Structure 1
Amino acid sequence: MLMGKPDWLDRIAQLLVLGVGLFALFFGLFMIIAPLDWYVAIPTVITTGPPNQHFIRDIGIAYVACGVILLYASVNIHMRWLAALAGALWLSLHGILHIYEVSVGICSPDAFIADAPGVLGPPLLLFLALAILFARQRIAPAGIPKSLFLKLANAQAEESEREYHDAIAAAPGHALEKFMHFLPASMHRHAAPPLLFHAARMGANMVEDCGPCAITCANWALADDVPKDTVNAWFKGPDNLPGEEALAFRFGQAIATQSPDAFELGDRIEAQYGRDVRFELAMSAAMVRSFPAMKRGLGLTKACSLTPLEV
């Protein structure tokens, strides 16, 4: 999942989807508004037979639909990657049709080569964008097949964690899919520095006394480039932490314990780092508590004292 602001590779993926979306939208509008002009503007189209305005507009509508979907996806590609995949579907099938036609001799190799940039280029660019996101694990989990999600989630999970994931997956009413939509909200970080963000999460998590949850929380911090020594120090509480880490940790604790101290600690964070940072720390500290709370309800929690707290 994406934590923090998009980097340059994220922006490249976003621009690829945006560019293909604009191409599909304007290409489709050209076909709808001026089908005969489009017919003569694309030299290879003439070789397919006389123009049919209705048929040209039909294809134009498909292009416009793809363009709209891709533009929607490009706004938040990490969360809307499924929309980008849907937008790529027709473009990909269109490209496959062209490959089929040249392979069986319906169209000439010269016509295929002339059409290839406009026919095969857009879907290939979309799959490149998605490959960038998938390779870096920068996508929201919602939409990932259940079996793959469980395999990834359980890869290094402790036994109670695996039981927890399996319980969600087995629940009726698409519970796992809804859970996967919840995960990005619990990890929302855009303005907050990683150190403060994960310290607040850990502070809230430690209050719940769930060792496996604390390890999971620590692993997310490591994935967000927080140093291992720093994360391990959090397991011992805030007393010996540097000032800003202790402040964020205690803020998370105060939220989890519903302490009035949360007001004063939050004010200090807001004064130093701004309202957005306070919001992100508060949101994550509040939401991270749901995981140990749910495990406790399912009888799957294990106390911190029974779990080796080290990563």
Structure 2
Amino acid sequence: MEAPLKKVILPNGAVDWEAFQELVTEKDFLVYDPPQKKRPFWALSNLNLFTPRSPIGVGFPCCVAESVRARMRSEGHDVQHAYISKPDEWFLKMLEPPAEGNHCPEFLRGIWWMKDNVANETLLSFESAHWGSPGTKMEGVGIKHVFKNWSKGSSMWGSMLARSHEEMFGVFKISPNLQWINLDMDNWIYILQAGDKLVDPSGKPVPFTPGDDLLRVTWNDQDPKKGIYYQYIVSRVAFKDESGKLQKVHPAYDELLDRATRPTLQGACCNLFLCNISDAEYGSAYDCIDDHQIYIPGPEHPSWKPDDFLKVDRDA
């Protein structure tokens, strides 16, 4: 049987937004309880391999993370080292728009933090992506090179993830009612609204700021009726003002900085294992993110851009 979310993606890649809205009317995704921060999510839950500060493969004698980054540089990639605690210069680099102009929707501009994303992807810029021109049928469609202006932690996993994204491009499609952003049939972003009530499983409110916070959602088996598989908040932590200066968004940047600089939650055996950490504290191991980030700045060069389809229409 075909998955419900697969049915709403049309053959040309567009979304049948009306059909999609019918699948998510109950809004159960507003219960914030990220499954990926719980021990049962992981097959090797006691091995400290994927936390942002995992020591495995970092430094002498293994040096896997360093070797991966060295290989990327040898291939001509401008791998940069940066620190969340010293953001001003590199945040501005990530916000450089394409040469043809900044068509990024206003509400997506700035630096965004993928809070509670355990994949060791940390910060991204939508502004550096290529967006369709305003007032055209491609408005609200953007393509972004995940390899660039998308930071990862400097762990072995973060470095390998960065390397694997060389040929990865994300296509963002904004719904007409400005409530959803689609990447593909698995990955959806809800644009939190002023009247929404985001709560934890006990019903306690989870703070968010409309306009500065989004909600990334993946459902089990591409079916919203089967519950959440992956979930995290995407928070704007900085933006470039009209004078070109970086402005931090508070308290979001403060929380980001706290997580980047707090002491590491110590596992067992030189922090190689997490078996000494209780189930209740398990998610905290992923809250200690890596202050030391790696990213590749510069123009993004997808094989196509949204406005290319406008040229095809004119030439037809």
When the two structures are superposed, what TM-score results if normalisation uses the length of structure 2? 0.26
Structure number with higher helix proportion = 1
- Rg (Cα) greater in structure: 1
Structure number with higher strand proportion = 2
Higher RCO (C-alpha 8 Å, min separation 6): 2
